[in-house]
């Protein structure tokens, strides 16, 4: 199973090399942003792209079976060229851009610095220009504070500063900044174990934060009781979101990702063996083709290097996979409910008990039906039976005619809904919201460029904050009201949806999809095999309704 990590990662190296300008006589030699250096359809290179030096360095360094890139001198040259391009394309203060000029993106700066530091050390490079760049960028990251609560970025910066201090031989230089960031990471961890990502808990980015903290402790080579306590809680929580088919996370999370960074679990597995079981379940899903696809030009690097590291540090002695026991896990802060039940043949004359399914240590029962519900997203859910996905549901979605245009009202926006949770019944009530569907136009791009080339360059965090509100956070209410009920009846979940409105006249289309999202998240909207499911088309049923009638849909799953 270990080889699966390497196989999936090595399969991405040819594409990463295609993204790279490999011509040493080119002015953009070492650039991984093909849209910039080859197609010439953008006017600046994305700094995040230079992160791709790390998977190349690992492919060069690791003696993996059937690895055609192992110890090829040209790979080493390309890695060094990539780091130099990161240095030479950076701003004077060491920062870099990702989506628009003078953005000074913290995430892009941190990811590319991490990759460069690790690659420099791994390949034993010796280049003063690169070392000077490392210090400059680390200085910028140490003092940069971005808008929004993204714990993974804070943890990443902690790791970058630690690595930079070791590479540059300056152990004390960023000590205060590291401590301040680490305190912030620990403060942003919920009592339930998850780390804040914008509006709540995202299991995918959660695994990235686990990796950052595990790697931080690994490179310091100094166990920290407080850090391990936080990691233990985080790892236990991550184990809740590995599904019975080996898939992980999805649209019920705050950022809709299927992210899974396995290396942190291999590091922590050396002192917390249960962490290894999470990876083993994920590997089962990977073996069955359920790994998400991240092979686009912008995000292909993250999982490639993390899979290679998981192969490198794979722990050979692994615990037996624990059974999936019945029980209910209600994360009230995260507003996510996981309900695991067993199904038995009905006994004539007996009714189902009124108590919720709770694990019995003396008489453990294997779960056969597992329900994952986002109570803070209107009841978005995934349902598994006998280890297979039965239904993935991202709530009601309506296309509505408005002023000659179509607007999209959805039920999966993050909000504080009215929620009732009983042993066999769960109910969520609330209001649909308008989906965020902003697109760029030539005029908008021109305005953004003018703003950033003039006053915007001095206030990049303000521009970033405005874009976050426009594309990610917040919810504009739509005039449609819903109730979603889950009822356990005769070993099945029955889901009933009710929708009311003052009028149905402007309705153009209606349905329920398996993977619909409506906020901008870099790592979301990736393809995964379980998404090969058609929408439930409700258009005809709603079009026939008189204005004073509510729509109702009942499904036995």
Strand pairing class (369-374; 380-385): antiparallel
| Strand residue runs (E) in 42-115 | none
Question: pTM of the predicted model, to two decimals?
Answer: 0.94
Residues of the chain with pLDDT under 70: 344-364, 468-471
CA distance 92 to 114: 19
pLDDT of amino acid 410: 97
Q: Across the strands, what pairs with 381?
A: 373, 393
pLDDT of amino acid 3: 97
3-state SS class at 499: strand
* Encoded tokens for 34: 């093909």
CA distance 514 to 535: 7
CA distance 518 to 522: 12
| Structural contact between residues 369 and 493, judged by C-beta atoms closer than 8 angstroms | yes
**DSSP classification of residue 61:** H
CA distance 49 to 301: 8
CA distance 317 to 292: 27
Residue 32 neighbours by CB under 8 Å, 6+ apart:
16, 19, 20, 21, 49, 50, 52, 53, 82
3-state SS class at 47: helix
CA distance 534 to 539: 14
User: Architecture of 2-312 per CATH?
Assistant: Alpha/alpha barrel (1.50)
Question: In this structure, what are the phi and psi dihedrals at residue 70, rounded to the nearest 5 degrees?
Answer: -65, 125
Closest listed residue to residue 121, CA positions, set 155, 171, 83: 83
Neighbours of 415 (CB within 10 A): 18
Closest listed residue to residue 187, CA positions, set 144, 217, 158, 222: 158
Q: Which sequence spans correspond to the domains of the chain? A: 2-312, 327-343+358-436+472-556
| Structural contact between residues 434 and 426, judged by C-beta atoms closer than 8 angstroms | no
């Amino acid at each position: 199973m270990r080889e699966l990590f390497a196989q999936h990662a090595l399969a991405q190296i040819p594409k990463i090399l295609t993204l790279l300008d490999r011509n040493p006589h080119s002015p953009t030699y070492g650039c991984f942003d093909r849209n910039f250096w080859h197609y010439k359809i953008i006017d600046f290179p994305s700094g995040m792209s230079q992160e791709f030096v790390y998977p190349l360095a690992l492919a060069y360094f690791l003696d993996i079976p059937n690895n055609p890139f192992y110890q090829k001198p040209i790979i080493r040259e390309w890695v060094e060229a990539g780091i130099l391009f990161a240095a030479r394309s950076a701003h004077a203060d060491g920062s870099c851009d990702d989506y628009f000029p003078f953005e000074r993106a913290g995430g892009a700066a941190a990811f590319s610095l991490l990759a460069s530091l690790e690659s420099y050390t791994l390949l034993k490079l010796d280049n003063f220009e690169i070392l000077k760049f490392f210090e400059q960028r680390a200085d910028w990251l140490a003092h940069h504070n971005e808008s929004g609560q993204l714990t993974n970025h804070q943890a990443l910066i902690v790791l970058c500063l630690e690595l930079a201090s070791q590479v540059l031989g300056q152990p004390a230089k960023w000590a205060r900044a590291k401590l301040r960031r680490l305190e912030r990471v620990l403060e942003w961890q919920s009592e339930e174990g998850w780390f804040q990502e914008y509006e709540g808990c995202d299991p995918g980015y959660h695994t990235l934060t686990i990796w950052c903290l595990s790697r931080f402790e690994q490179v310091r080579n100094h166990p920290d009781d407080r850090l391990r306590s936080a990691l233990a809680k985080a790892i236990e929580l991550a184990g809740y979101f590995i599904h019975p088919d080996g898939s992980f996370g999805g649209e019920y999370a705050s950022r809709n990702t299927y992210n899974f960074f396995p290396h942190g679990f291999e590091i922590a597995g050396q002192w917390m063996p249960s962490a290894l079981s999470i990876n083993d379940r994920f590997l089962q899903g990977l073996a069955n083709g359920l790994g998400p696809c991240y092979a686009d030009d912008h995000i292909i690097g993250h999982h490639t290097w993390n899979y290679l590291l998981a192969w490198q540090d794979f722990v050979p002695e692994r615990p037996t996979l624990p059974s999936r026991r019945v029980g209910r896990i209600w994360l009230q802060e995260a507003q996510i409910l996981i309900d695991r039940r067993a199904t038995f043949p009905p006994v004539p004359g007996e009714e189902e008990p009124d108590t919720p399914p709770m694990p019995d240590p003396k008489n453990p029962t294997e779960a056969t039906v597992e329900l994952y519900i986002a109570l803070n997203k209107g009841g978005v859910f995934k349902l598994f039976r006998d280890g297979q996905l039965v239904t993935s549901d991202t709530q009601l979605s309506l296309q509505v005619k408005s002023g000659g245009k179509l607007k999209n009202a959805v039920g999966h926006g993050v909000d504080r809904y009215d929620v009732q949770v009983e042993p066999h019944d769960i109910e969520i009530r609330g209001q649909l919201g308008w989906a965020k569907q902003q697109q760029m136009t030539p005029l908008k791009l021109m305005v953004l460029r003018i703003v950033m080339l003039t006053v915007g360059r001095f206030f990049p965090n303000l521009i970033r904050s405005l874009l976050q509100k426009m594309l990610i956070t917040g919810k504009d209410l739509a005039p449609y009201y819903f109730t979603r009920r889950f009822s356990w009846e005769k070993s099945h979940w029955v889901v009933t949806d009710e929708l009311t409105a003052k009028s149905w006249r402007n309705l153009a289309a209606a349905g329920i999809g398996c993977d619909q999202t409506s906020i901008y998240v870099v790592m979301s909207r990736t393809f995964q095999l379980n998404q090969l499911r058609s929408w439930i088309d409700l258009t005809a049923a709603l079009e026939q309704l008189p204005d004073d009638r509510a729509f109702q849909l009942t499904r036995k799953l």
